[in-house]
Chains A and B, each alone.
Chain A
Amino acid sequence: GAGVSQSPSNKVTEKGKDVELRCDPISGHTALYWYRQSLGQGLEFLIYFQGNSAPDKSGLPSDRFSAERTGGSVSTLTIQRTQQEDSAVYLCASSLAEGVGQPQHFGDGTRLSIL
């Protein structure tokens, strides 16, 4: 597609369950970013990928969060043993390159609700 695609758009799950969020970046974009948007914390950086490697995982809030990217394209963000404080909108963005101020283009996000 033309833009960044994220799925699911909405996810409701019970506390303690694992969830997997998917991001399909714009074709040809080598840099991929995950952010989280929540009422209390605003927009926070989670993790950055260049190709399949993740040079910067500094934003992951705990070891329950992990992410991978395969084939330099699709990325999945996994949250294990979800907690209520994980409820937020998870946004994925991609850009042509890294380190040169390229604009990041965002998907519509996945709204995660933990009951």
Chain B
Amino acid sequence: AQKVTQAQTEISVVEKEDVTLDCVYETRDTTYYLFWYKQPPSGELVFLIRRNSFDEQNEISGRYSWNFQKSTSSFNFTITASQVVDSAVYFCALSEKKSSGDKLTFGTGTRLAVRP
């Protein structure tokens, strides 16, 4: 069965610090997808990024970057020069390519608090 572990329950940083959110996953499939979602205080889950299991290239989008390493089954997320608006709960999720859809298995989330 698939599993996603986000060991960091809460992280608190001061604005402009860099912060890395860890995500470790377990799956038996060779084809799968990894996602990060942001849940701000307003509650809506916002899609940030998708990675498929065959693409290990790291990705950078502005202050956000993601490091995917199949060898360690990790998909970590780094925010550079954090801002107060980054305060949210961040979820890592895994879906496997199955005939019955892309249901997501979520980690328990990491609550990030960025202090001014």
Q: Which residues of A contact B (CB under 8 A)?
A: 31, 33, 35, 42-43, 45, 48, 50, 55-56, 59, 89, 91, 93, 95, 98-109
Assuming the contacts A42-B108, A42-B109, A43-B91, asked whether A99 and B45 have C-beta atoms less than 8 A apart, the reply is no
What residues make up the interface of B, taking CB atoms closer than 8 Å to A?
Answer: 33, 35, 37, 42-47, 50, 52, 91, 93, 95, 97-109
- Say whether A107 contacts B44, CB under 8 Å: yes
- Pick from A43, A59, A108: contact of B106, CB under 8 Å: A43
**Complex Cα–Cα for A108 and B45 (A):** 7
What residues of B have a CB within 8 angstroms of the CB of A42 in the complex? Answer: 106-109
Which of B97, B103, B105 contacts A56 (CB under 8 A)?
Answer: B103
A45: chain B residues within 8 A (beta carbon): 103-105
Alpha-carbon gap, A110 to B39, bound state (A): 15
Decide: B35 and A103 in contact? CB cutoff 8 A: yes
Are the C-beta atoms of A101 and B100 separated by less than 8 Å?
Answer: no
CB of B36, distance to nearest CB on chain A (Å): 10
CB distance from A10 to the nearest CB of B (A): 11
> In the complex, which residue of chain B has the Cβ closest to the Cβ of A107?
B44
| Residues A56 and B102 in contact, CB atoms below 8 Å apart | no
Q: With a CB–CB cut-off of 8 A, which chain A residues contact B103? A: 33, 45, 48, 56, 59
In the complex, 24 of the A-B residue pairs with CB atoms within 8 angstroms, ordered by the A residue number, are A31-B101, A31-B102, A33-B103, A35-B104, A42-B109, A43-B93, A43-B106, A43-B109, A45-B105, A55-B99, A56-B100, A59-B103, A95-B102, A100-B102, A101-B33, A101-B50, A101-B52, A102-B102, A106-B44, A106-B46, A106-B47, A107-B44, A108-B42, A108-B43
